[in-house]
Structure 1
Amino acid sequence: MTDSRGRFLFPLGASEPNQFPGGWLRGAHDGNFPVLAGQNGSVYRLRLEVGGIREPHWHPTAWELTYVLAGRARWTILGTHPDGAYQREEFTAAVGDLVFVPQGFFHYFENAGIADPLDVLVVFNTSTREPSDDIGILGSVNALPRDVLAAVFGVPESALAGLPTGVEPVVITRRR
């Protein structure tokens, strides 16, 4: 007997969210919504509480399409530099806005509000589960030796002593 919802319906709003210090994330992907198997697609609902930040990251195998459901999101997107200069855009997206991030572009967004949460719906052209297709800034920085980082940033190695050393994904954090 099949579930009364049918195979094409997924209760995203009722699914168990993954909790983080700055908000939560719940998603539909081929692991929990079998009809997506082989479709190269997934969708996530994400909430950032006041002060919440989606860790700066990039997706090596997917583009990202984000729709603002509630609140305002402050974005930065950094892309390739075919003309010799990095292409960086900073903007605020509001309810009803749609933001596209090309595959491989470094980006982040945060809750730009001071009183209300930010809710977004994010669609990917991959079945890979979040955060399995993310390469975050914390993991990226910590994958490099401290002496190399010091040279790149032009600071003494001792200036980096307070940085955390983990390489696990943070996904959603918050201002301290």
Structure 2
Amino acid sequence: MSPKLTVLLVIFSLHCRMTLASDPDPVQDYCIPNTKSGTGKTTRLIVPPCKNSSEATTDDFVFSGIKSIGNFSDTGLAAITVSPAIFPGLNTLGMSFVRADLKVGGFNPPHFHPRATEIAYVVQGRVYSGFVDSTNRVFARVILQGEVMVFPRGLVHFLMNVGEAPATIFGSLNSQNPGMQKIPTAIFGSGIKDELLEKAFGLSPKQIGMMRRKFVPKGLR
């Protein structure tokens, strides 16, 4: 094989890899899942066939579920994630979104979305927000009401309310199934052997146990 052909094949394979890394473009105006088709309800990965376009209604494209605050976690975060599973009009459009409310001092721990870039818009409050790139450089600052910050796909990012009042953030992601891994849970709740964690972080068995209790939900310990 000639060097020129080899280079072309490499470029082609990289292009395919990049193309497959994001949601596919829709091939029609919209696709409202037909949950009565016998395939079950819409999930993150299994989507029923589309309804006939004549069966779609305006209600399929309107969502009211983020008007109220969700349930708060131990970190002072209440997040409502909206995907095609609960908002049919999003299906095949390559996007999802989230409403996040933070109590004073509340935070969203370092996490990342393997399949989506996110834009966070501050509806109210003062939020310390940032991400870490692949050279371990942190980009962070306090963002205020009306400001936005972008978190590139796959990079670890975080949020913390540093104001004196509750904060509300609206996040938009360019995938209908962005995925999310919270770093503390991924490390201490995934079943990695304690011996490795002790060596990697210089922690004692007692400290590992403490980290599991602090960051991992009871059902995952």
* CA distance 1:41–1:145, shift in 2 (3 Å): same
The structure whose Rg is larger is 2
Identity %: 23
**Partner residue in 2 for 1:8:** 61
Aligned residue in 2 for 1:78: 132
Q: Is 1:140 the equivalent of 2:211? A: no
Given the two structures, how large is their TM-score scaled by the length of structure 2? 0.64
Change (3 A) 1:156 1:15: closer
One-letter amino acid of the structure 2 residue matched with residue 100 of structure 1: V
Higher strand content, 1 or 2:
1
CA distance in 1, matches of 2:150, 2:208: 33
Range moving further from structure 2, 101-110 or 143-152: 143-152
Instruction: Classify 1:121/1:108 alpha carbon distance in 2 versus 1 (closer, same or farther; 3 Å).
Output: same
Match of 1:110 among 153, 156, 160: 160
After superposition, give the CA deviation of every residue in 1:78-125 in whole Å (9 maximum; x if it has no partner). 1112xxxx2212211111111100111011111111x31110100011
The size of the alignment, in residue pairs, is 161
Looking at structure 1, the residues matched to 195 and 154 of structure 2 have their Cα atoms a distance apart, in angstroms, of 26
Q: 1:125 aligns with which of 170, 174, 185?
A: 174
Counterparts of 1:30-45 in structure 2, within 5 Å, are: 30-45=84-99
Unaligned runs of 5+ in 2: 1-54
Unpaired runs of at least 5, structure 1 = 170-176
Q: What secondary structure, in the 3-state scheme, does the structure 2 residue paired with 1:163 have? A: helix
2:132 is paired with a residue whose SS is strand
The Cα RMSD (Å) is 2.7
Partner of 1:47: 101
TM-score by length of 1: 0.79
Partner of 2:78: 24
